[in-house]
A and B are shown apart, each in its own frame.
Chain A
Amino acid sequence: MTTKTNSKPRPAGKTADEMGKQQREISVSEFFTKNRHLLGFDNPRKALLTCVKEAVDNALDASEEAGILPEIVVKLEAVGEGGNPAPAVSQATRFRVTIIDYGPGIVREVIPRIFAKLLYGSKFHRLRMSRGQQGIGISAAGMYGQLTTGKPVKIISRTGEKQPAHYFEVQIDTKKNEPIILEKKQIEWEAHRGTQVTIELEGKYQKGRASVDEYMELSAISNPHAQFTYHAPDGEIKVYPRTIQHNPEPPKEIKPHPYGIELGMLLKMLQDTKSHWLAGFLSADFSRVSTETATDICKAAGISPKKRPRDVVGHEAEKLFKTIQATKLMAPPTNCLSPIGEKAILAGLFKQIKGDFYTAVTRPPAVYRGNPFVIEAGLAWGRGPEQAALDAANAQKAPLAEGESHGNDDNELARVMRFANRVPLLYQQSACSTFKAVLDTTWKNYGIPQSRGAPPAGPMVVFVHMASVWVPFTSESKEAIADYDEIRKEITLALREAGRRLGVFIKRRARAHAESKRRDIFELYIEEVVGACKRLKGGNIAESKLRSQLTEIAKKVTGGMKTDALLDKNAGPHGLPHSIIVTPEGIEGEVPVEGPVTVTEAAPAPAAEAPAAKAGKAKKASKKPTAKAKAKPAKKSKPAKKKKK
């Protein structure tokens, strides 16, 4: 609410003059204070997750952009209020969240604005695939902390071994949306390079669905090239080792595609452009518009190609917009996307989830509203041979009653893991296009039970990832992907392909199972028939002779060799691309090579050295000129310029 500047209440109402005086600017930060739910800070538990998520997103983006293999430490500690000792983790209402990355670091000058100014960032103004999009995230987390605990955000950053480490304590001036620096100094820091952020905030820690723990697990799946060390508030330390030893192909920046913009956007671009004439503007500021096409568009719209873009306004601009939308243009370039890739998805799923079968599908790029995107799907199915053996051991030996059946009667439903630009989505599942596509897929076709309007049933994990320069979220808190037809269609196609492979696997396995059962079955039946004969004959038969004779015939009839061949030798992953099959005998398929990472406890300084050295080898991944931090350890390594710009 706005404070009244003129507060003389008059029964007949206010004059326009009085009302005019009440009007004033609202700062973004003030807006946020009242609408924190829009950014994912609706409740203490979610706030804790959002805070971790925003910091980790930034850390990953920065490391990748600098060509450094990400290594990230997430630390949660319960803190007592007002200097009191911290209560039990489940009772704690305040947490200190610390995220350390050994990435490029941030230059001193921009640190305050990155962490204490909303809508300040490097990602909003360019069409390039990245985790963060608006530049709200980390500063919003900091502001939430400030609002709930009054504590500033503490930052340590260092851009290289030769550079000093800077320590900052910053707060946000919520009225002006500007940083207030409470403290800044140079300090000694054990890490040679990287950034550490500490935010204290009101939160609640609880394991399970949509928890920080789940977020860490999912992040490890979608980022197999990163190493995560997670210190849970209860003291547990989990290390998610790296399974892919190179960074993803760095995504390229593209210009907007005309199909993806709205009239208002066009108007703004017309004003802002550096081009001096309209046709030049069209071909220079958009992708897939050649000089010729630009001239054609101008002609069709009845505007001179030589006209100054700034002068194209009102009706003319509208005409131009309509003409552009009606012009046939090539789809936007898709090399700006960097999907996770089938191999890496397999590696991620295989590492984190126990199962019998894994598969991954990366669809070719597609386009929605002028934005290119790629859909990837993965499936992990089964409980893994160890669990199966355990189940068999624990299985009831009691015979089955009429109407009962073997196997699990509990209707476990598949778990759907959703990702957008590698970021796990944990809330609003049912509003998400991915989840709708999972429901839409007819899993019964692949031998997986599914009730109406429900996800498939069984021990299964469904992985869906959307990579795009602009992921259409249903809200700013980035929890669900909007349900565009083009997107849903691609997800469905990817799921079908993955489902088909799973279907083939399940069918094969069932057949092999049946074959091996066949033999035992004859043995059982022979026992029954011999018993019946013995009783019919009043006990007067040569029982063992009859048994061995029948067994002999059974062997001859069923053909031992043939059965063996059918048993499981043909059940390998042949014809199933990008899949892994796990059996008690071993693992077949594209099994990832585990990285030689042997970290058991967070030991920042020395651990930082190892991956940095490796990053140096991954030259392919660091083409960007700014990413000077190729980490030829120590000598002459210039600091990486900026994290956000």
Chain B
Amino acid sequence: MAKRHPAVEKKLVGLADLVIDAAARKKDPAIAIPVRSLSNVTFNVKKGFIEMGKNKQMRTFFNVGMAKKFMQTMLVADALNELQKADLTTSLREIYYRTKHTMGDSHENTFDDQAESDPVIEDLEVGLSALREEFHVRAENAGTIIGPVVFEDDGDKVDCAKLGKGGYSVPSIVEEEYLKIKKCTADFVLLIEKGTQWNRLAEDKFWRKYNCILLTGNGQPPRGVRRLARRLHEEKKLPVYVLVDNDPWGYYIYSVVKQGSINLAFESQRMAIPDAKFIGLSSADPESYDLPRNVGIKLNDKDISRAKELMNYAWFQKKEWQVEIKRMLTSGLKYELDALANKDFQYLTKTYLPKKLKDRDWLD
């Protein structure tokens, strides 16, 4: 089922060579791992997405603070290589269990919990510039899609227009080799933050009336959903609209879809959709759509400081965005998508989205 990536295999084996070479030269073995933090990302205005900088940290073996991490990195590399050889995919949790054991005759475990092994996998992704999918590591299927598009998944044809109101569960690996887009007649993609609104739209057959694809990632969209949106955008030239709550976290979800995330900046290149549009909820909507003040929620301290952080990000410097965020801060309120139900259960389907689309009322 999984496809072998000879390049990846080579990279993993390269780690063993690195250790052997260093040992032969009586040097402390060291693996260079790019730093994954805000300080090491830059916003490429021209390309429209976040890129990882050149800062690297040397993970050395004979340093008391890093020795365990180094050992763990080698163990995970070994496990990933095993997956490659056996041509299997697995989950982060299974990697943890696979690499966990007691060392020698001590009571010391290689890993105490999964929180130790997950970052090591991300380190290897960045360090070896490989994708998680190439490592054959998948996430849970956390996204759903519905609309006029036909996939081929493991030889099965999946017509997403004929899946009732449940839709198709987006696999975590959606690369061409795993998932083919056979046919797509949609006009645009609507990426919705929450399952509730996605269900509403699916139930109301919004996608049929407006000939679009409905996608949701239930919160921060997982890689599979982002990558699929990007493929539909790139291969089928579909515009992508993002519908999120009106709060700092909603804004950030939108920006991750559009410009990529800080943690996975090295993946922006194939994940980001710089042309994606922010359709709502905007901080201007409560007024435009006459939402009563009492369906708003007071911003808490965390919201406020997060909003201020966003305003400082290079990719939120457009004037409209500064205005948008400031307006939210001034009002002191945030609004959930669910609040639209205050007007009518089908307000989203029948009034809000049709009007937004008709007025081309979105932010870039």
Per a CB cutoff under 8 Å, which of A397, A525, A537 touches B13? A537
Q: Is A330 an interface residue (CB 8 A)?
A: no
Q: Is A182 an interface residue (CB 8 A)?
A: no
18 cross-chain CB contacts under 8 A: A397-B105, A400-B109, A518-B64, A522-B67, A525-B71, A527-B103, A529-B70, A532-B78, A533-B19, A533-B74, A535-B81, A536-B77, A537-B17, A546-B23, A550-B23, A553-B23, A553-B27, A556-B26
A536 with B16, Cβ < 8 A, contacts A524-B103, A524-B108 known: yes
Per a CB cutoff under 8 Å, which of B12, B26, B70 touches A536? B12
Taking A402-B113, A403-B113 as known contacts, 11 extra A-B pairs with beta carbons closer than 8 A to each other, sorted by chain A number, are: A399-B102, A518-B64, A525-B68, A532-B16, A532-B77, A533-B16, A535-B82, A536-B16, A536-B74, A552-B26, A553-B27
Q: Is B7 an interface residue (CB 8 A)?
A: no
- Interface set, chain B 200-222, CB cutoff 8 A to A: none
Contacts of B102 in A (CB 8 A): 399-400
Q: Is A541 an interface residue (CB 8 A)?
A: yes
A400-B15 Cα distance, complex, nearest whole Å: 29
Q: Is A549 an interface residue (CB 8 A)?
A: yes
Contacts of A528 in B (CB 8 A): 71, 74-75, 103, 110
Per a CB cutoff under 8 Å, which of A399, A522, A541, A552 touches B109? A399
A532-B81 Cα distance, complex, nearest whole Å: 10
Q: Is B20 an interface residue (CB 8 A)?
A: yes
Residue of B nearest to A547 (CB): B23
Per a CB cutoff under 8 Å, which of A518, A536, A546, A549 touches B15? A536
6 cross-chain pairs, A with B, having the tightest CB-CB distances, nearest first = A536-B16, A549-B23, A399-B102, A557-B62, A532-B74, A533-B16
**Most chain B CB inside 10 Å of its own CB: which residue of A402, A531, A533:** A533
B74–A529 CB distance below 8 A = yes
Contacts of B358 in A (CB 8 A): none
> Interface size bucket, B side?
35 or more
For A513-544 the 0/1 string (1 means CB < 8 A from B) is 00000101111110111011111110001000
Q: Is B106 an interface residue (CB 8 A)?
A: yes
A553–B20 CB distance below 8 A = no
For B41-76 the 0/1 string (1 means CB < 8 A from A) is 000000000000000000001111001101100110
Q: Is B28 an interface residue (CB 8 A)?
A: yes
Interface SS of chain A: helix, strand, loop or mixed? helix
A598-B22 Cα distance, complex, nearest whole Å: 66
Give the shortest distance, in Å, between A500 (CB) and chain B (any CB).
Answer: 28
Contacts of B103 in A (CB 8 A): 524-525, 527-528
Q: Is A34 an interface residue (CB 8 A)?
A: no
For B95-123 the 0/1 string (1 means CB < 8 A from A) is 00000011111111110110000000000
Residue of A nearest to B62 (CB): A557
Q: Which residues of B contact A (CB under 8 A)?
A: 12-13, 15-17, 19-20, 23-24, 26-28, 61-64, 67-68, 70-71, 74-75, 77-78, 81-82, 101-110, 112-113
> Interface size bucket, A side?
20 to 34
Give the shortest distance, in Å, between B22 (CB) and chain A (any CB).
Answer: 8
Give the shortest distance, in Å, between A408 (CB) and chain B (any CB).
Answer: 14
A549–B24 CB distance below 8 A = yes
Q: Is A574 an interface residue (CB 8 A)?
A: no
A554-B27 Cα distance, complex, nearest whole Å: 10
For A344-380 the 0/1 string (1 means CB < 8 A from B) is 0000000000000000000000000000000000000
Residue of A nearest to B101 (CB): A399
A402 with B112, Cβ < 8 A, contacts A523-B104, A529-B70 known: yes
A549–B26 CB distance below 8 A = yes
- Interface set, chain A 550-569, CB cutoff 8 A to B: 550, 552-554, 556-558
A197-B17 Cα distance, complex, nearest whole Å: 87
B106–A524 CB distance below 8 A = yes
Contacts of B13 in A (CB 8 A): 536-537
Q: Is A315 an interface residue (CB 8 A)?
A: no
B26–A541 CB distance below 8 A = no
A406-B15 Cα distance, complex, nearest whole Å: 33
A406-B102 Cα distance, complex, nearest whole Å: 13
Contacts of A536 in B (CB 8 A): 12-13, 15-16, 74, 77-78, 81
Contacts of A546 in B (CB 8 A): 19-20, 23
A522–B112 CB distance below 8 A = no
B27–A399 CB distance below 8 A = no
B62–A553 CB distance below 8 A = yes
Contacts of B82 in A (CB 8 A): 535
Contacts of B105 in A (CB 8 A): 397
